[in-house]
Amino acid sequence: MALPLEGVKILDLSTMLPGPFCSMILADFGAEVIKVEAVKGGDLFRGGVPKIGDTGGAFFQVNRNKKSITLNLKSDEGKEIFYKLAKDADVVLEQYRPGVVKKLGVDYETIKAINPKIVYCSLSGYGQTGPYRLTSGHDLNYISYAGILGLTARKGQTPTIPGVQIADIGGGALYAAIGILIALMGVKRNGVGQYVDTSMLDGAVSWLPVLANDYFVKGVSPKAAENILNGQNACYEVYETKDGRYISIGAIEPHLWANFCDAIGKEEFKAYQRDLTKQDEMFAYLRDMFKSKTQAEWIEKLTGVDCCWAPVKNLEEVFADPQVVARDMVYEMTDPEGTYGSVKMIGSAVKLSETPARKELFPPRKGEHNTELLKSIGYSDEQIAELQKNGVI
């Protein structure tokens, strides 16, 4: 059975994390993703550390099932090649600051004139409009503006930097993928492409429905540790164990909290779950209680108790976890040329019953598909050699 996105051709100008993560989702389900990389340097993740061989390890995690072509888009010949590739492409994805693709001559209006059905996605920190559009930023800055960072803190303490990139992936890559797929459906229905303007700040702000509701209804801006979901209540908290590890408790629902109270022999706590005058008392008791046993001992005690609990794991434990393994969330791809050996990959979180994510193309070497792709648009071996000699590819 053909994969759902088979026949969809994507030119991906992005680098590092958000854009490549987005295009990998689409590549996993059959899209032909062509990474368009600079002749000098290429994707910035290639130079990262730690390395697998001569390539940054992070590059492998977001670039499987793709092809790579190198192009000097500042040259006329490089632009011409891009235009030829775009003529029958379905999607262009870029991650530059607003205005850069216009200077390079590969912006939406230019590509739209060549291919009216193109879906052109710009993924940026603050979007293509608004007073911050040209402001530099990273994930930490986007979640700062979005209010997420200010709420990720213990009461009266400095906000804590999250361990993963919330805006880059959750606010950017995923929304870009959704926008592209919606726009492709629009092409199918209406016969014309459109521009997809994805902002990582927008995406991060969209993650605020619960806390925004508090503000919209009460008119008071919520603060860190003043909501049941961010540290106000003892029923939803992370507790340190005797061995310096942690257990998380997420017993929001009354019946789950009751189950937890029964398990620890504190019947009286059942009625106090949302009583703010009793939280300090319960916090103090539970903190002392959890420090009386190791994490392994708490795992043994709580196994089978329906109260939404979990051990806080490190990555070694995560990728050996039977649930993670059973869901195919870690596997190995082998370099067909042997240089990089077998590389562990994070699996696809999208599970389709009939057309699961493919595991076909090992992450490409920079410019690995130059000849293949240039020949597909009419270039001869002699012309390709000349382009390489002149630094166009």
CA-based nearest residue to 92, from 167, 157, 160, 10: 10
CA-based nearest residue to 274, from 252, 255, 289, 290: 252
Asked, as a colleague might, if the bond just before 50 is cis with ω within 30 of 0, I would say: yes
Choosing from 43, 168, 197, 202, the catalytic residue is: 168
Residue 28 annotated to the active site: no
| Block residue for tokens 């089978």 | 304
Would you say how long the chain is, in residues?
393
Any idea of the CA torsion for 210, 214, 216, 222, to the nearest 10 degrees? -110
Q: Which residues are catalytic?
A: 168
